[in-house]
Structure 1
């Protein structure tokens, strides 16, 4: 890909979001490329969703690892039919990337928009084009509403947007090339994620040994009486966690506002803020200024958080709050635990729940019916049996674990940065290719034929996908 070069001749497209285009490409308004489709009365077709991260997908794929339920109307006669190769978008979120070509036949909310290509153009080319940051900014420019959370890209305005149009055979070459690039990057990311998984397993072994046996190899032991834990130090207590807490608070999920978070505005933590003992203070969404926020659950540094619902491997994830902005609250899928610190140090509890023993407690009690995310009740949490030395010994164990995990965590951070750079490279490359800044015709011709894929097969972080989820609007288009 290093040998990719620009086209030999360019001209000004007249559109800021596109820039210069190859001299033989057309620049046409979307009304010349698409026709809007409003085919209804197919209530028995499969439900589809339009997402920011993955474009058009089957709704069952969106709901299978989620606590969200199907919010669609019982009467689906007004829902719009989507056929394979159609472009569908969420009017309220097109400017955030909720647009894509469909591989499926199904129906979507009547408030969404379905566009069908005229002529022999490739829908997969437009899928790649319309999911670039370049188009997102143009969609935002054409979206209207009093506030950002009401912005809507109406069909008549979508049709007024000018789009680059390579010849059909060149569209096919671009799609073929980008499919190949996506596969290569996906394979590299998958390999790096396997290394991260192995490093996380190594961390868990260190944590488990320290929080169930302590640091003294010659300590006298006693049978624990707990499945999965053999002997524990004789002088350790084994109280229920409820004895070490004053209360458990549940967060609150208000109406989220779109757009940038403003000074003094309340924000809500998303599930992706908590990941294997790490707190991400930037994983927040702005709260609508009209919301009546319960100020008593405002977060502070040092707070102990636990996810009460998430995907199977992330429910019960824990962290200590650090670097949180003022006027931030947890969402309703997060608990805040108030700990009696003369009995139990918060970081020791965090490590114990991150250990194999802690995960066994969580997995035993996490409940969820088919199609929903498992959940933990406050009663479950209070019933967990802790393995507790004195707070002095707890601190010594914390210091030991911190020192042992530091180089491993540094390695994980390095690999995650490499993954981020690969994603950034992919985003830039796609934008350059679909707007004609790089000529991929010869490169595409040299590539082997592969089964066509619509988009990257990279599996995104589950919590990010859950946080993104938006119930299908039910209003008429």
Structure 2
């Protein structure tokens, strides 16, 4: 790890307690100062085919899964966009973060133009912060964002709190390199996780098979077998007795 993540020669205080020190030549950028705008959306009322069933992607927090979003479960019509000023199409590459409840902090990047509901905060592409870098920065600081939340039963953050966040970042070209590096590394980790999950599934199946064999075929592989008379049970060792659980409980 030390060879991969080399220290910078000099560091400075970021001015943010939970960020700590950052490399000397990095900057702190307030999101509201570098993104063209910060916005959310709304949920059109159900009105037949007037507002839903169109061609425009409509993103909800359920679709923010640290992913690139190319399609959505529901789509809205052009009339919905026309009738509702808070419902607008955000450009491809926009970063969106969930602001409410159990999904707070979940992230997505728009693979196409898209509108959102009111629970999504959208940050369109910036000339200062590379969108993929901003995505990873928000991912890394999710707990701190949750700590900014308010509310009783379910935590909430608002657009103002997201807009006021200060992002530590190097120059744009290095942001791109950092994001590319993270794409590569996280893809390798995801592949390892998938392989481990497949292994766990196989081990669970083997565990089940071992238990099933022991209680239906016994421990001696050379024992003579006979038909149990039970279709799903098949053959059992010749000296075994097949008992009915109903009969046992009655006795």
Partner of 2:14: 13
Instruction: Report 1:68-467 matches (<5 A).
Output: 79=87, 81-93=89-101, 96-132=104-140, 135-145=141-151, 147-149=152-154, 151-215=155-219, 217-218=223-224, 220-226=226-232, 229-232=233-236, 235-237=241-243, 343=249
Contact 1:50 1:56 in 2 (8 A): no
**SS where residue 140 of structure 1 aligns?**
helix
Q: Distance in 2 between matches of 1:73 and 1:25?
A: 41
**SS where residue 225 of structure 1 aligns?**
coil
Contact 2:59 2:114 in 1 (8 A): yes
Gaps of 5+ in 1: 64-69, 245-341, 344-389, 391-477
**What is the number of equivalent residue pairs in this alignment?**
230
Q: Distance in 2 between matches of 1:12 and 1:137?
A: 21
Contact 1:46 1:106 in 2 (8 A): yes
Higher relative contact order (CA 8 A, sep 6+): 1
> Residues 94 and 17 (structure 1 numbering): CA distance in 2 closer, same or farther, change over 3 Å?
farther
Q: Please say which structure displays the higher CA radius of gyration.
A: 2
CA apart distance, 1:122: 1.2
Partner of 1:54: 65
Gaps of 5+ in 2: 45-50
Partner of 2:2: 2
Question: Please, what is the CA RMSD of the aligned residues?
Answer: 3.8
Q: Distance in 2 between matches of 1:98 and 1:87?
A: 11
Q: Distance in 2 between matches of 1:116 and 1:84?
A: 8
Alpha-carbon displacement from aligned partner over 1:78-136 (angstroms, at most 9, x marks no partner): 5553432112122114985323433343333233221213325311101111011xx22
Contact 1:101 1:126 in 2 (8 A): no
CA apart distance, 1:191: 3.5
**SS where residue 171 of structure 1 aligns?**
helix
